[in-house]
Amino acid sequence: MRSVLLIAVCFVVGVPIAVAADDLKPIFDGKTLNGWVQKGGQAEYRVEGGCIVGKTVIKTPNSFLCTAKDYADFILEFEFRVDPKLNSGVQIRSQCFDKDTEFEHAGKPVKIPAGRVHGYQCEIDPDLVRDRWWTAGIYDEGRRGWLFPGICGGDAKQFTEQGRKIFKRADWNRVRIEARGPSIKTWLNGEPRADFSDSTTLSGFIALQVHSHAEAGLEVRWRNIRLQDLAAIK
């Protein structure tokens, strides 16, 4: 077994401010899935109308369409539209190893199985059943669970109230993510959401998640997926 020791440092860092001079470039060509690799489960991905469409398939684990390239510091923007019954998300700085690994959390080892995509996920979370609206919150897929709101900060009630107001049901939503060193910030439809610092993983791939589901054929769509690689311009 390959053992990896990772120690997280979390603290809230203030109100996010968008950078004016962006130079965002497409990382999806609008026509093909060139440059993307599927990992995890067997959900279906296709290109349709300039969008990447993910569709649920029953009896398969979480599926991820991953960039072939890793990114460290970056600004990422995308739009999505999701079936209200489906949880989804976009992984950032994520990893997937060929061998079992271990992650240390709260002084205890957590096993990450071979082939398991893990890392930060910007959530697409219009949870009607629990009345939880945590889209653009950050979840640590396959490791610690919710970071913001969660162990890295954020008030769950306030986050839900804001999310309920700004999330567009049955319509396109726009997300912005800024990752700079340990700082991670998100916006949903122009409104600031998550804002915290965590040093666990500072680079990795980006991936589009289709969550496992008991119902087949639920879809999530992404379009206008654009990124500015800040590490490349230092």
Identify the structural domains of the chain with CATH numbers, from first to last. 15-96+118-233 (2.60.120.560)
Residue 17 is predicted with a pLDDT of 39
Which sign does the torsion angle of CA 210, 123, 196, 229 carry? Answer: positive
Residue 112 is predicted with a pLDDT of 93
Which residue would you say has higher pLDDT here, 127 or 122?
122
Residue 107 is predicted with a pLDDT of 86
Q: How confident is the model at residue 234 (pLDDT cuts 50, 70, 90)?
A: low
pTM of the predicted model as reported, rounded to 2 decimal places: 0.89
Average pLDDT, the chain: 90
DSSP letter for each residue of 123-164: EE-EETTTTEE-TT-EEEETTTEEEETBTTB--HHHHHHHHH
Q: How far apart are CA 176 and CA 183, in angstroms?
A: 14
Q: How confident is the model at residue 12 (pLDDT cuts 50, 70, 90)?
A: very low
Q: How far apart are CA 62 and CA 228, in angstroms?
A: 27
* Sequence-distant contacts of 102-108: CB under 8 A, at least 24 apart: 102/1, 102/3, 102/4, 102/5, 103/4, 103/6, 103/143, 104/5, 104/6, 104/7, 105/8, 105/143, 105/144
| pLDDT (tens digit per residue) in 69-90 | 999 999 999 999 999 999 999 9
| pLDDT (tens digit per residue) in 139-194 | 999 999 999 999 999 999 999 999 999 999 999 999 999 999 999 999 999 999 99
User: Side-chain half-sphere of 166: how many Cα atoms within 13 Å?
Assistant: 20
